[in-house]
Structure 1
Amino acid sequence: MSRRFLLRLLAAMAVAVVPSVSMPTSAPPNAEVYIIWPPDGAVITGGKFWIRMGLRNMGVCPKGIESSKCGHHHLLIDVDLPPLDKEIPSDKNHLHFGAGETDARIELPPGKHTLQLLLGDAKHVPFDPPLYSKKITITVK
Structure 2
Amino acid sequence: MAGMNGQDPRVLANQHREFQKRAEMLQQQVGMVQISMEDCNRALGTIEELSNVSDGSEMMFPIGSGSFVYANISRSDNVVVDVGAGISVERPIADAKVILERRKERLTTALDNMNNALLQISQQMQAIESFLSQQQQAQGMPGSQ
TM-score between the two structures when normalised by the length of structure 2: 0.25
Whichever structure has more helix as a proportion of its residues is 2
Larger radius of gyration: 2
Whichever structure has more strand as a proportion of its residues is 1
TM-score between the two structures when normalised by the length of structure 1: 0.26
